[in-house]
Homo-oligomer: A and B are copies of this chain.
């Protein structure tokens, strides 16, 4: 099945809101195993809307529309669809009743000026517009607003098409899709799609792709698709089959082969699992605690770890030691070390990690010191020079990096490499 998305709304064209609907619906279509080749955004303009809808109908089996179902003059999605399919708009009695009771409820519960200001003192003529449905379409209840959705099954150019009209606000659209549209679409096909996300850290995108180019080129089912993420590379592996079990079985050898090629560089195959979750999970399972000593990252590394609910069993405290004095006072970095090698040096990084571990009694510690820029770089120590050290039960490893990009990017990468270094060293234990 080929699906196309059309988002309707001038506010999207003006950049007033981000189109999260397209993102959500695309994900859902992928989950359903539908092919989605185009997303289109168009304003509240009937002529231009009809132009894109006609193209979409020619190219696809299902068109999903969001937006333009509201009560105002410029909401015209339903009217335009009716025109294209030469259908009348007819009053839908249940919708009419619901709108009427919705407004009397709002009025009762907001009998003040705010309700009046919102125009809730009476159902305006406009609102009845929302009770009209395209003849012979299926009305889909909206539990979070007044505009219902619609499913229209009808022929266009002698081919059967499905047009799904959804309200624009995500708070209305998402529950409507989840509860009514997803089950409707799921019934349209007999294949089951199952996918795994193979997440890799420590290898660049193009190197990672080169390493499995033969697999990517030979792919049919399962498919392998690469996704670059800052500091990471993800491969989505998807199998389609008659049953979930069969799809799972088809995935196994591919996942196995990826582990064979990338080994420890793979940190998870779970869609939702993040690098910091894996680090916290690994520490927890090995009953190890951790502390961080951060200079240029200024708290971002610990902030990432604290993203993980339940981190309190492995992390009790961290140090943000931005100045030399703080490095001496809280971590016991030697004045001699700072004088001789500087704050951004292998030696200082090592002393920071050891000091943090010793002063907190943690089993592991990770320290970052670097030059994030834009100032502070020298020829010998340029912007982007970062030392990351990892202490695990008496052993210290220090890695030196030259990172590219602006201050934000250098700090973000430092955090990812630090998490990854800790993950590798702890996993080895």
Contact = CB atoms under 8 A, between A and B. Distances in A.
Interface of A: 10-20, 22-30, 36-43, 45, 48, 52, 55, 70-73, 102, 105-106, 109-110, 112, 114, 117-120, 124, 126-127, 143-145, 169, 171, 175, 202-210, 213, 225-228, 230, 236, 265, 292, 294, 296-303, 305-307, 309-312, 315-323, 325-326, 329-330, 373-375, 385, 399-402, 404-409, 411
Contacts of A12: 22-23, 26, 39
Contacts of A11: 227
A174 to B, nearest CB: 11
Contact of A299 (B19, B25, B71, B318): B318
A363 to B, nearest CB: 15
Given A298-B306, A306-B296, A102 B312 contact: no
Contacts of A236: 14, 16
Nearest to A213: B73
Contacts of A228: 17, 70, 169
A307 B206 CA distance: 30
A16 B225 contact: yes
B322 A311 contact: yes
A40 B301 CA distance: 37
B15 A26 contact: yes
B109 A402 contact: yes
A251 to B, nearest CB: 17
